[in-house]
Structures are given as structure tokens and as C-alpha cells.
């Protein structure tokens, strides 16, 4: 990775996205490279979560969405899933007070169906406690899959059509936006994935229609503010035309 421009530079600071999504990948490979268990990698990944939230706040990112546990992750070995659930509970219990003190609003997206009985109350507590906070928004994608989200959104709209509350011709981009888990905030301008993998893996597929994608070679447990700055520097260099073209004036 090249040496980064100074984030205090006006052109970079002005281009900091309002919303960043992060696919946190590489915990297992980080642990394997050190002869440790995957669970040890996930524990170190929680430290990187704390660094990422803090760095986003310091750099002026209003919303950060973290892909913490996908709807496909339930197929992992039971021991690893149990460890991940334990880390989520520990993070909420240990960090919620600090997040609330810093004015962070916590939102959780994803299906609430089949969420463990000891996890759901913690999610609801975190959202209720921080509901009125405005300094920053932390969105945790838990038991989340973008295809599942789109299915649930279309089911809501279909139910409204069946009830006579909505005409099929009224189903629009805006209507689908409003039915998604993310309806209360803007789409991510930037999505970062760590570990060198270059795919979205069923993360924010609808919302990522015009997101800039930045793939970093760093494994998630090693992610820090420097890596975030690298992604922001890459973002600032992109020419975002949203399908349009720049027409040059005739000389």
C-alpha cells in the first residue's frame, strides 16, 4: 500500500463518505498464520471493531455498517458459532455504555427469526438505550443476508398489495428502499472488504448499487485507522458519475 495522503488535506477531508460499509474478513486466516484457533482470531477481530468505530468517528463518518454475522454463518461448526455469539454478547455488555456515552446510535439489521433467546434482548436493549443518540450511527448486520433482506422487503410489499393498500404499479425503487432494513439512512458511498477477497458476499446488494468498492490486503484483526485512511484516499480519487458522463466544453 502506498504512503497515504494526510487526511487533514482539504480535498480528502471534504470527500469523507457519510456512510461506510465494512466486510470484516480474515479472522480465521490471521489466527491460522499464528498457530491459533479461529476463535482467537475472532477475539482479536473485536479489538479491530473498536478501532474501526473510533476511527470512523474521528474522521467524520456518520454511519458505519459492520457485517458481523451472515445468515449463512450458521452453517459453521457449532463451537465456532457459539464463540461468535459469546463475543457479540461480550461486546454489547462491555462496550454499550461507552458507545452510549459517545453519542453512538446502535442499529441492528437482519432477520430476527431464530436469533438465540439470550441474544435478542441484548440487541433490543442496545437499540432502545441509544435510540436518541445523534453523534454517529453504528449499524450491525447480524443474521443478515442481502438476498434475505430483499425477499423480506418484497414480502412486505406483496402483503400490502394483497390487502389493497398498494397498487402493483406503485412498487418503485423508493417503495423497495422504504421496505428494506436500512430505510432510515442513506446508502453506503463506500464499502471496504479486508483480507484481499474481492466480492460482496451477500452484503447490502441493493444498497451497493453505486457504492465505491475498496479491497484491502490486510486481515481484519490488523485493521486500524491507517487502513481506513488508505480506503478513504482511494475513495477520494474516484470519479463518481453515477452512470453519467462529463461533457467537455467545446474549445
Asked whether the beta carbons of 63 and 18 are under 8 A apart, the reply is: yes
Q: Active-site residue among 47, 73, 133, 177?
A: 73
Burial (CB < 10 A; 0-12, 13-18, 19+), residue 45, is: buried
Beta-bridged to residue 104, according to DSSP, are 136
User: Do the annotations mark residue 70 as ligand-binding?
Assistant: yes
User: Do the annotations mark residue 54 as ligand-binding?
Assistant: no
User: Do the annotations mark residue 27 as ligand-binding?
Assistant: yes
Asked whether the beta carbons of 67 and 141 are under 8 A apart, the reply is: yes
73 among known catalytic residues: yes
User: Do the annotations mark residue 137 as ligand-binding?
Assistant: no
Single out the residue of 49, 37, 31 nearest to residue 88, CA to CA.
Answer: 49
User: Do the annotations mark residue 25 as ligand-binding?
Assistant: yes
User: Do the annotations mark residue 50 as ligand-binding?
Assistant: no
25 among known catalytic residues: yes
Cα dihedral 103, 213, 39, 30 sign: negative
User: Do the annotations mark residue 212 as ligand-binding?
Assistant: yes
User: Do the annotations mark residue 201 as ligand-binding?
Assistant: yes
Residue ranges in 60-217 assigned as alpha helix (H):
78-101, 120-129, 146-162, 173-179
User: Do the annotations mark residue 71 as ligand-binding?
Assistant: yes
Q: Active-site residue among 25, 83, 95, 181?
A: 25
Rounded to whole angstroms, the Cα distance separating 94 from 8 reads 32
User: Do the annotations mark residue 185 as ligand-binding?
Assistant: no
- Binding site: residue ranges? 25-30, 38, 42, 70-72, 74, 76, 193, 199-201, 212
Q: Which residues belong to the active site?
A: 25, 73
Binding residues for substrate: 26-30, 38, 42, 70-72, 74, 76, 193, 199-201
Report the binding-site residues for Mg(2+): 25, 212
Amino acid at each position: 500500500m502506498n504512503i497515504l495522503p494526510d487526511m487533514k488535506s482539504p480535498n480528502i477531508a471534504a470527500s469523507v463518505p457519510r456512510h461506510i460499509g465494512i466486510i470484516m474478513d480474515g479472522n480465521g486466516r490471521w489466527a491460522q498464520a499464528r498457530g491459533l484457533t479461529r476463535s482467537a482470531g475472532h477475539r482479536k477481530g473485536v479489538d479491530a471493531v473498536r478501532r474501526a468505530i473510533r476511527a470512523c468517528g474521528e474522521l467524520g463518518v456518520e454511519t458505519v455498517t459492520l457485517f458481523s454475522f451472515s445468515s449463512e454463518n450458521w452453517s459453521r461448526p457449532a463451537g465456532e458459532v457459539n464463540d461468535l455469539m459469546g463475543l457479540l454478547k461480550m461486546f454489547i455488555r462491555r462496550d454499550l455504555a461507552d458507545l452510549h456515552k459517545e453519542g453512538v446510535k446502535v442499529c441492528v439489521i437482519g432477520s430476527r427469526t431464530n436469533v438465540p433467546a439470550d441474544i435478542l434482548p441484548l440487541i433490543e436493549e442496545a437499540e432502545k438505550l441509544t435510540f436518541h443518540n445523534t453523534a454517529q450511527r453504528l449499524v450491525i448486520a447480524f443474521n443478515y443476508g442481502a438476498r434475505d433482506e430483499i425477499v423480506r422487503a418484497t414480502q412486505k410489499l406483496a402483503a400490502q398489495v394483497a390487502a389493497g393498500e398498494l397498487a402493483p404499479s406503485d412498487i418503485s425503487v423508493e417503495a423497495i428502499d422504504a421496505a428494506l432494513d436500512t430505510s432510515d439512512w442513506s446508502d453506503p458511498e463506500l464499502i471496504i472488504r479486508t483480507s484481499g477477497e474481492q466480492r460482496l458476499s451477500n452484503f447490502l446488494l441493493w444498497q451497493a448499487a453505486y457504492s465505491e468498492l475498496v479491497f484491502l490486503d490486510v486481515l481484519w484483526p490488523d485493521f486500524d485507522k491507517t487502513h481506513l485512511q488508505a480506503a478513504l484516499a482511494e475513495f477520494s480519487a474516484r470519479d463518481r458519475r453515477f452512470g453519467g458522463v462529463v461533457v467537455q466544453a467545446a474549445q
